Amino acid sequence: MAVYTDVTVEDLEPLLKDYNIGEPVSFKGIAEGVENSNFYLLTDKGAYILTLYERRVREADLPFFLGLMDHLAAKGIRCPVPVHTRSGARGIQLNGRPAAVLTFLDGLSVRRPSADHCAAAGAALAKLHEAGSDFPLWRMNALGLSAWRTLAESTKADSDNVQKNLGALIEVSLTRLEREWPATLPSGVIHADLFPDNVLFMHDAVSGLIDFYFACNDAYAYDLAVMLNAWCFEQDGTFNITKSAKLIAGYRRHRALNDVECAALPLLCAGAALRFLLTRLYDWLNPNPTALVRPKDPREFARRLRFHLAVKSPAEYGL
């Protein structure tokens, strides 16, 4: 269970006095997610998620994250919405942690998305980009290109113990990405972590997008590259070009990709693969002793990175 800071029913009672969400009926920790402590709260007025922010989520970033969810919801994007306290605040303090109560969304994530799921998710990403285009706050991508060298150096000594020649792969990839990374692509608010477990479906239609705690300002096409890494590789490690083509086509139905974005896609996909390789590798080598979940294996993203480095043309993604 992904709970780092425990919350008891006794802790909950004074918190609920700050909200107009009813009396508690059921309260339990949620097993999904690895970054925050999450709890499902059912009251006599509805269902909610209580989140205590841990690890990589800085309290100073919460106005961006919570404000973005309010903004997107007002534009018609189905996402959790922070419930405001009686005094109008979006967030609170609970057990020494910044926290928020958010609305609960119905739907299920899919473990093995089909090509049609990929198309629907791609369309949802484009709609998110459009809806967030006039969001007034700005946040740097704290896990973008500028952070990768530091992560690589922090894992360098032990990377080859995880996989043979992993350190060399990281160094060669990072050197190329630092030299060739595109700097003038269309940009705005991106999700930056839209993996299948962050997209909810009902009857094969997207019913909600969740987990906005890596959202930031960066290139839209980079966000698409994150999704291609997350949705279009099979369990045996092979790349599914049918899923990729459907995901990109779903995206392009709602937001056009210009020629520069298309040409940059192989490099952006390699960068996205390296980003998740490095953060998973760091967590693998530095496990949190309070966590009740095992860190995710970084090696699958090493294989994905090798695939993208070998791509010669955007056509290999179904463009």
Identify whether residues 171 and 298 lie together within a single domain.
Answer: yes
- 3 is a domain residue: no
The residues, any chain, with a CB within 8 Å of residue 276's CB and separated by 6 or more, are 229, 298, 301
Query: Domain count of the chain?
Result: 2
Q: What is the pTM of this model?
A: 0.93
- Residue whose structure tokens are 């595109």: 182
- 110 is a domain residue: no
HSE-up (13 A, CA, CB side) for residue 127 = 18
Identify whether residues 187 and 267 lie together within a single domain.
Answer: yes
Range of lowest pLDDT (163-172, 175-184, 235-244, 282-291): 282-291
Whether 192 shows a pLDDT value over 80: the answer reads: yes
- What tokens were used for 262? 């298309």
Q: What are phi and psi of 278, to 5 degrees?
A: -70, -45
State the residue range of the domain holding 147.
115-317
Identify whether residues 155 and 247 lie together within a single domain.
Answer: yes
- 108 is a domain residue: no
**Strands 199-202, 205-209: pairing kind:** antiparallel
Q: What is the Cα–Cα distance from 12 to 8, expressed in whole angstroms?
A: 6
Q: What is the pLDDT of residues 232-243, one digit of tens each?
A: 999 999 999 999
Whether 210 shows a pLDDT value over 90: the answer reads: yes
Identify whether residues 20 and 137 lie together within a single domain.
Answer: no
DSSP state, residue 140: B
Single residue among 60, 77, 103 that ends a domain in this structure: 103
Q: What is the Cα–Cα distance from 163 to 157, expressed in whole angstroms?
A: 12
Beta bridge partners of 98: 93
Mean pLDDT of the residues in the chain? 93
Identify whether residues 204 and 277 lie together within a single domain.
Answer: yes
Summarize the chain as % helix, strand, coil (round to 5). 45, 15, 40
- 109 is a domain residue: no
Identify whether residues 57 and 170 lie together within a single domain.
Answer: no
Q: What is the pLDDT of residues 48-81, one digit of tens each?
A: 999 999 867 888 999 999 999 999 999 999 999 9
Identify whether residues 95 and 125 lie together within a single domain.
Answer: no
Identify whether residues 85 and 149 lie together within a single domain.
Answer: no
The residues, any chain, with a CB within 8 Å of residue 248's CB and separated by 6 or more, are 122, 224, 228, 257, 317, 318, 319
Please say whether the dihedral angle defined by the alpha carbons of residues 128, 134, 136 and 138, taken in this order, is positive or negative. Answer: positive
- 299 is a domain residue: yes
The residues, any chain, with a CB within 8 Å of residue 119's CB and separated by 6 or more, are 246, 247, 249, 250
Single residue among 70, 103, 136 that ends a domain in this structure: 103
Short-list 48, 34, 42, 27, CA closest to 3: 34
Residue 197, domain CATH: 3.90.1200.10
- 191 is a domain residue: yes
- 135 is a domain residue: yes
In the chain, the percentage of residues whose pLDDT exceeds 90 is 80
Short-list 45, 36, 44, 47, CA closest to 7: 36
Q: What is the Cα–Cα distance from 195 to 23, expressed in whole angstroms?
A: 34
Whether 299 shows a pLDDT value over 60: the answer reads: yes
Identify whether residues 129 and 247 lie together within a single domain.
Answer: yes
Identify whether residues 90 and 153 lie together within a single domain.
Answer: no
Single residue among 49, 80, 103 that ends a domain in this structure: 103
Q: What is the pLDDT of residues 91-113, one digit of tens each?
A: 888 888 899 999 999 999 999 99
Residue 71, domain CATH: 3.30.200.20
Q: What is the pLDDT of residues 104-143, one digit of tens each?
A: 999 999 999 999 999 999 999 999 999 999 999 999 999 9
Identify whether residues 58 and 87 lie together within a single domain.
Answer: yes
Q: What is the Cα–Cα distance from 179 to 157, expressed in whole angstroms?
A: 24
Identify whether residues 312 and 251 lie together within a single domain.
Answer: yes
